[in-house]
Structure 1
Amino acid sequence: MTLTMAMVTVDSTDPGPLAAWWAEQLGGSIVEENDGWFYVVESPKLLMAFQKVDDPTPGKNRVHLDLLAPDLDAEVERLKKAGAEPVDEHAMGDFRWVILADPQQNVFCVAAAGSH
């Protein structure tokens, strides 16, 4: 028996705006909303959910998104203009990635497509 990934779920004290932000960034849309508690975002290659919690998880996320962009620098600039905050940048040889935080401080990484 094997597992199949269904979706990535993000906890949030205010999931609606965060779901809308990620839907826009991923070129997707909110396809389900359950009384303000659970939102499902569908994009061409990823299914994400945003669920309401009473308290945000303290400390650094233990799970994060790794995203690819055809033009890393242009995509990072677009994300910053959309409300993402830069956290850090790294390189290992030719492989370079940027760590950002979404509007609710969930950390994610963006790397150049084809660089790894």
Structure 2
Amino acid sequence: MTNHQITLGAINLEAANPVALAKFWAAVTGAETSAGGDSVYLPPNGPGGFGMFFQPESEPRAKRQVAHWDLTVPWGSRAAEVERLIGFGATHQWDVLEEFPHVQWTTLADPEGNLFCIAEHPPVDQQRV
């Protein structure tokens, strides 16, 4: 039996303005952008990070977003992180704070409307039952 280890290499997004959207996500992740033609690559910022690749839109945006990413922050820091990201241009969409005992999250949209969540997980001994 072969042991497979799959890791996330990069999230790829089409964007109306790849440079501007990459700058927003560089502020979010703390990574440095690397432009190449009309596209921009944002490498992982550290061993647990993820890369992002932004390219020009090939056709109009779909009405429904079929996937989004969940970003995790330490317990107790979600609200401050949400405020920081709003300061960079994210838009608050909604909060889910009481629905699940193992997670609280805020859903945001980046400057081009792509949804993403900022989640925090309480320590096991603080989880509701």
Category of TM-score, reference length = shorter chain:
0.7 to 0.9
- For 1:26-65, list aligned pairs within 5 A: 26-31=29-34, 33-36=35-38, 38-42=39-43, 43-44=45-46, 45-65=49-69
- Is the 2:91–2:111 contact (alpha carbons within 8 Å) kept by the matching residues of 1? yes
Matched, 1:17 2:25: no
Closer, same or farther in 2 for the Cα pair 1:72/1:115, shift >3 Å?
A: farther
- Is the 2:102–2:121 contact (alpha carbons within 8 Å) kept by the matching residues of 1? no
Closer, same or farther in 2 for the Cα pair 1:19/1:56, shift >3 Å?
A: farther
RMSD of the TM alignment (CA)?
Answer: 2.0
* Identical-pair percentage: 28
In the alignment, the residues of structure 2 paired with residue 5 and residue 112 of structure 1 have an alpha-carbon distance, to the nearest angstrom, of 20
Give the aligned length.
114
Matching residue within 1, 6, 24 for 2:9 = 6
Judging by fraction of residues, say which structure has more strand: 1
Which residue matches 1:103?
Answer: 111
Normalising by structure 2, what TM-score? 0.78
Report the 3-state secondary structure (helix = DSSP H, G, I; strand = E; otherwise coil) of the residue aligned with 2:85.
helix
Once the two structures are TM-superposed, the CA of residue 99 in structure 1 deviates from its matched residue by 0.3
Which residue matches 2:92?
Answer: 86
Q: Which runs of 5 or more residues in structure 2 are unaligned?
A: 125-129
- Is the 1:20–1:30 contact (alpha carbons within 8 Å) kept by the matching residues of 2? yes
Runs of 4+ residues over 2 Å off in structure 1: 1-6, 54-57, 113-116
Residue-by-residue CA offset, 1:24-71 (whole Å, 9 max, x unaligned): 11010113x2212x2110122111101111434222321212101220
Residue-by-residue CA offset, 1:78-102 (whole Å, 9 max, x unaligned): 1111111011111312511000000
In the alignment, the residues of structure 1 paired with residue 9 and residue 102 of structure 2 have an alpha-carbon distance, to the nearest angstrom, of 32
